[in-house]
């Protein structure tokens, strides 16, 4: 039996198989013995005492009772067995729920060996994986939640809930964290999926008329020099005089992020650039003060999918950076493959950090990056369009501050901190200081007060006041050529949509008794839909605007292919693919005018020069 199970493991989990082959079984920790009913039972040593995983009287009868009590909602598609034991409960579950897929996660390798010696995995078609390693289980969870979303349930034997409580709690915590993160990403995608593309289209004229900071600006101006990212946390109020001194003496490049620009303007401190990327229309409010005062000597570095309203009527010079949500610029603008595209993130501070690392600054100093609450406030003075903390409605999380004390933050700030830490922890050859007094501890940074950094690190004048005065260098002929190709692709896509709708009508009229003909129609429909997915206009403009719907369709498509009932399969294709085709047509109507405007603007070269 063990050899047969090892052959199955060779297909399911080769790394576990290698681990098992090297493992020396501890026959004192785990003992298999006959129960009173005659079938094997199992006990494990815990704190120098043996505890039974199954009943020592009748494990099979116990398993029947446990399975009868286990509630499995209709929507659940996957079960994680926390604990294999000797598999009595697994066998009964499979017999009762033959369509539900499952994973076996056994936290104790000695129990797993006993399981594989006593239980046959043969004919377990719905078994997705067998796992013993915690980290591997968490990686597997990401795949499971991608495929099944929240339609997953954990099944733990009562004995495992007691003996391995810590590991079970960790599993639930990790699962909840992954689902929350996916939900957050889903909400973001739903909120911005159309907006990202519309902004990118409307911003193309501005991109063609402004320098790309990662392409057109001389990096030798920044290489080996210090830069400051100024955020709008409440601790910013304590740093104005230090920042004023740095600015007046040109000791470091100062980049404001988000709302910090307003606090700095109120103090008469003009940063060397303001950075922004938020796709929402409301983002323009951040720069209203700058517009009202007609301040034209602070350049704006904007992400290519920023809300187009933000950069309209901006009084100063503008530069841009291409961000990863932008499928339009990467298709239309020349030589972008050789230039850095910055990854989208929950915070402009994270995007700006990536930018400064790419520009080869040697020191990055974080100011006002609280990512936590200070005296019930979230933002520095001078910012009156954000709400501060409401302890009755904000869900507070305890974290460690820069000096090791306990402070409070919320989910949004905590997510920003984690994202920033991905970069601060992995960035090499850059010294990163966090000067935020009372702010969240950020892994990969050193806490040092800003006045101390001025004395020890900022020794000489480094800022070139005219650093941003460059001309854009995109090849207009390249963009015009790309737009002509996309225009033809749009015509091809419209024809494909018409043909796909015709194929759906034919499926509706099909006789269910002609199974072979229906399968042939499915095949032709699939082939045509795959052709649509390869269409350049679809890939550039349409699919990014319906990414959530397409993700759902991908999951439904897997189910459709496995469906044996012809009538149900036909209805699934008609409903779900019919809906997505309607979505595509709605989006096409939505952007067609913008596409023609963009094309007309670019083809009129004089409007750009």
Q: Which helix (H) or strand (E) holds 594?
A: helix 578-603
**pLDDT attached to residue 323:** 94
**pLDDT band at 335, cuts 50/70/90?**
confident
Q: State what percent of residues in the chain have pLDDT above 90.
A: 54
CATH number of 2-163: 3.40.50
Mean pLDDT score of the chain = 87
CB 108 within 8 A of CB 164: yes
**pLDDT attached to residue 540:** 95
The β-bridge relationship of strands 253-257 and 273-276 is parallel
The CA distance from 329 to 305, in Å, is: 9
pLDDT tens-place string over residues 298-334: 999 999 999 999 999 899 999 999 999 999 999 999 9
- The residues, ordered by sequence, that sit 6+ positions from 87 with a Cβ below 8 Å of its Cβ are 115, 118, 119
The CA distance from 242 to 252, in Å, is: 12
The CA distance from 609 to 596, in Å, is: 20
Q: State what percent of residues in the chain have pLDDT above 70.
A: 91
**pLDDT attached to residue 383:** 44
- For residue 576, pLDDT over 60 is answered with yes
- For residue 93, pLDDT over 90 is answered with yes
- For residue 196, pLDDT over 70 is answered with yes
Q: Which two tokens stand for residue 32?
A: 């298999």
pLDDT tens-place string over residues 513-541: 666 777 787 888 889 989 999 999 999 99
Q: Which helix (H) or strand (E) holds 366?
A: strand 363-367
pLDDT tens-place string over residues 97-138: 988 999 999 999 999 999 998 998 888 888 989 998 888 888
pLDDT tens-place string over residues 404-423: 898 888 888 888 898 899 89
Could you tell me the residue ranges of all domains in the chain? 2-163, 191-456, 476-607
pLDDT tens-place string over residues 337-393: 667 889 888 889 999 999 999 999 999 999 999 988 875 555 445 444 444 444 434
CB 367 within 8 A of CB 236: yes
**pLDDT attached to residue 175:** 77
**pLDDT attached to residue 190:** 57
CB 233 within 8 A of CB 439: yes
**pLDDT attached to residue 518:** 79
- For residue 49, pLDDT over 80 is answered with yes
Within 13 Å and on the Cβ side, how many CA atoms surround 394?
A: 20
**pLDDT band at 88, cuts 50/70/90?**
very high
Taking CA atoms, 88 is separated from 36, 60, 109, 197, 602, in Å, by 16, 6, 18, 53, 69
pLDDT tens-place string over residues 458-507: 989 999 999 999 999 999 999 999 999 999 999 999 999 999 999 888 88
**pLDDT attached to residue 391:** 45
Q: Which helix (H) or strand (E) holds 129?
A: strand 127-131
pLDDT tens-place string over residues 582-593: 889 989 998 999
Main-chain phi, psi angles of 31, to 5 degrees: -125, 130
The CA distance from 361 to 430, in Å, is: 7
């Amino acid at each position: 039996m063990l050899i047969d199970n090892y052959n199955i493991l060779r297909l399911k989990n080769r790394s576990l198989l290698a681990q098992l082959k090297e493992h020396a079984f501890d026959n004192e920790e785990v003992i298999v013995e006959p129960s009173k009913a005659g079938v094997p039972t199992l006990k494990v040593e815990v704190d120098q005492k043996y505890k039974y995983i199954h009943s020592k009287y009748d494990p099979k009868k116990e398993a029947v009772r446990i399975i009868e009590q286990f509630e499995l909602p209709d929507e659940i598609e996957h079960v994680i067995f926390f604990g294999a034991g000797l598999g009595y409960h697994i066998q009964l579950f499979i017999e009762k729920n033959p369509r539900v897929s499952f994973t076996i996660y056994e936290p104790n390798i000695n129990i797993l060996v006993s399981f594989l010696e006593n239980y046959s995995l043969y004919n377990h078609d719905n078994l997705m994986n067998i796992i013993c390693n915690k980290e591997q289980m968490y990686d597997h969870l990401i795949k499971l939640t991608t495929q099944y979303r929240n339609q997953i349930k954990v099944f733990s034997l009562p004995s495992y809930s007691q003996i391995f409580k810590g590991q079970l709690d960790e599993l639930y915590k990790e699962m909840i964290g992954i689902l929350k993160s996916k939900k957050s990403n889903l909400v973001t995608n739903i909120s911005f999926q159309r907006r990202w593309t519309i902004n990118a289209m409307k911003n193309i004229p501005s991109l063609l008329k402004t320098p790309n900071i990662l392409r057109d600006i001389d990096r030798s101006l920044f290489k080996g020099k210090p830069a400051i990212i100024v955020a709008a946390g409440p601790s910013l109020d304590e740093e104005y005089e230090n920042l004023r001194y740095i600015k007046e003496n040109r000791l470091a490049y100062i980049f404001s992020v988000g709302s910090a620009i307003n606090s700095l303007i109120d103090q008469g401190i003009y940063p060397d650039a303001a950075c922004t990327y938020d796709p929402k229309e409301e983002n323009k409010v951040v720069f209203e003060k700058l517009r009202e005062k007609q301040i034209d000597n602070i350049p704006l570095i904007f992400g290519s999918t920023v809300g187009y309203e933000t950069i309209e009527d901006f009084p100063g010079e503008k530069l841009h950076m291409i961000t990863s949500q932008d499928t339009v610029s990467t298709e239309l603008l020349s030589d972008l493959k050789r230039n850095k595209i910055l990854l989208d993130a929950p915070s402009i501070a994270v995007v700006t950090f990536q930018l400064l690392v790419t520009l080869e600054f040697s020191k990055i100093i974080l100011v006002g990056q609280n990512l936590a609450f200070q005296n019930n406030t979230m933002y520095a003075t001078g910012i009156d369009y954000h709400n501060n903390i409401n302890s009755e409605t904000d869900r507070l999380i305890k974290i460690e501050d820069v000096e090791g004390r306990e402070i409070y933050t919320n989910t949004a700030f905590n997510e920003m901190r984690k994202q920033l830490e991905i970069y601060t922890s992995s960035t090499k050859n850059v010294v990163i200081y966090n000067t935020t007094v009372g702010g969240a501890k950020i892994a990969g940074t050193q806490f040092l007060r800003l006045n101390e950094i001025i004395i020890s690190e900022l020794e000489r004048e480094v800022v070139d006041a005219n650093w941003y005065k460059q001309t854009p260098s995109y090849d207009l002929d390249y963009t015009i050529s790309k737009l002509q190709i996309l225009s033809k692709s749009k015509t091809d896509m419209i024809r494909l949509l018409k043909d796909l709708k015709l194929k759906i009508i034919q499926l509706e009229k099909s006789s269910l008794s002609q199974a072979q003909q229906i399968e042939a129609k499915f095949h032709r429909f699939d082939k045509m839909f795959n052709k649509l997915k390869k269409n350049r206009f679809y890939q550039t403009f349409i699919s990014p605007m319906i990414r959530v719907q397409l993700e759902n369709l991908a999951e439904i498509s897997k189910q459709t292919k496995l469906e044996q009932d012809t009538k149900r399969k036909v209805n699934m294709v008609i409903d779900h693919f019919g809906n997505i085709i309607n979505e595509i047509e709605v989006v096409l109507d939505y952007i067609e005018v913008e596409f023609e405007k963009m094309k007309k603007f670019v083809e009129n070269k004089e409007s750009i020069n």
